[in-house]
Structure 1
Amino acid sequence: MANREALRDLQSRLAGRLQAARSESVTVAAWLAVQAGGRDYLLPLSQAGEIFPWTGVQPVPYTQNWFLGIANLRGTLAGVVDLALLLNHGRSRSEQELSETSLLAFNTALEVNAALLVDQLQGLRGADAFVQSEPAPARSPSFFGSVHIDSTGRRWQELQLQRLSQTAKFLSIRA
């Protein structure tokens, strides 16, 4: 219950910050910062949808280990993808660990009924939060965008959700 209240509080704060930024003509954040499998990612706000607390997921037999199953998210059935496992650096989690995660739905404009399992929400980030940017690493997946480095030296990999949703790997859940 406390986890749901914390998530609602985070969503309220994010909505308030976005509204304040719009009304004050301040640069609006470009990304939602998340952590998955111990790594930092930036997801474009225009491609990200609603954030949900972990909810019961119905497993689907004969699927990839990163495809956790189907969840009912506000009346919409969505496939749940473990982002860290999809990117080959995660591990299976206990039910207790899953209860501390969040589901990030894809923006409805992308027409993809899917949600990503992320370990932690790190808030909103704008370009001004970073001191340096680099191109995506060599041989990285097509959905990797630039790497942004903040003032503490933390490296944030940008993920293009629209491109991710169109990759053969993402579309091939069959084991």
Structure 2
Amino acid sequence: MANREALRDLQSRLAGRLQAARSEGVSVAAWLAVQAGGHDYLLPLNQSGEIFPWTGVQPVPYTQPWFLGIANLRGALMGVVDIAQLLGHGNVRSEQELSECSLLAFNSALEVNAALLVDRLLGLRATDAFTRTEPAAEGAPGFYGAIHVDGTGRRWQELQLQRLSQTAKFLSIRA
């Protein structure tokens, strides 16, 4: 219950900050920063949807290990994907660890009934939060965007959710 209230509070604060920034002419955030499997990611805000606390997921047999199952999120059935496992650097979590995770739905405009399991929400980031930008590593998946480096040297990999949702790997959940 406390997790749900904390998430609602976070969403309310984020919405308030976005509105205030727009009205003051301040640079508006472009990404939602998350952590999954020990890696830092930037998810485009216009491709990201609602944030949910971990909820019971109904497993689906004969699917890939990264496809955790189906969850009822505000009355919509959504497939739940462990993004860290999908990208090859996640490990199986205990129920206790899962209870500390969040589900991030895809923006409804993308027409993808899926949510990503992320370990931590790290807030919003604007373009001016980074000191330099590098192209994605050679041979990186097509849904990898640029790598953004902040003032502390921390590297953030941008993930294009729309492109991700159209990849054969994402669409092929069958084991």
Q: Which stretches in structure 2 are left out of the alignment for 5+ residues?
A: none
For residue 145 of structure 1, report the CA deviation from its aligned partner: 0.2
What is the aligned-residue RMSD (CA, Å)? 0.6
Residue in 2 aligned with 1:56? Answer: 56
* Structure 2 counterparts to residues 128-143 of structure 1, below 5 A: 128-143=128-143
Structure 1 segments (4+ residues) deviating >4 Å: none
Question: TM (normalized to structure 1)?
Answer: 0.99
* Structure 2 counterparts to residues 33-44 of structure 1, below 5 A: 33-44=33-44
* Structure 2 counterparts to residues 57-96 of structure 1, below 5 A: 57-96=57-96
1:45 aligns with 2:59: no
SS at match of 2:46: coil
Q: Which stretches in structure 1 are left out of the alignment for 5+ residues?
A: none
Counterpart residue type for residue 60 of structure 2? V
* 1-structure distance, mates of 2:143, 2:62: 26
1:104 aligns with 2:113: no
Matched residue pairs, number? 175
Counterpart residue type for residue 143 of structure 1? F
Residue in 2 aligned with 1:162? Answer: 162
For residue 26 of structure 1, report the CA deviation from its aligned partner: 1.4
* 2-structure distance, mates of 1:8, 1:111: 24
For residue 9 of structure 1, report the CA deviation from its aligned partner: 1.5
Q: CA offsets, 1:122-149, max 9 Å, x none?
A: 0000001000100000100000000000
Residue in 1 aligned with 2:126? Answer: 126
For residue 31 of structure 1, report the CA deviation from its aligned partner: 0.2
Counterpart residue type for residue 157 of structure 1? Q
Identity %: 82
Counterpart residue type for residue 129 of structure 1? A
* 1-structure distance, mates of 2:119, 2:80: 13
For residue 92 of structure 1, report the CA deviation from its aligned partner: 0.4
Q: CA offsets, 1:35-58, max 9 Å, x none?
A: 000000000000000000000100
Q: CA offsets, 1:11-46, max 9 Å, x none?
A: 111011011011112111000000000000000000
Residue in 2 aligned with 1:150? Answer: 150
Counterpart residue type for residue 80 of structure 1? V
Counterpart residue type for residue 157 of structure 2? Q
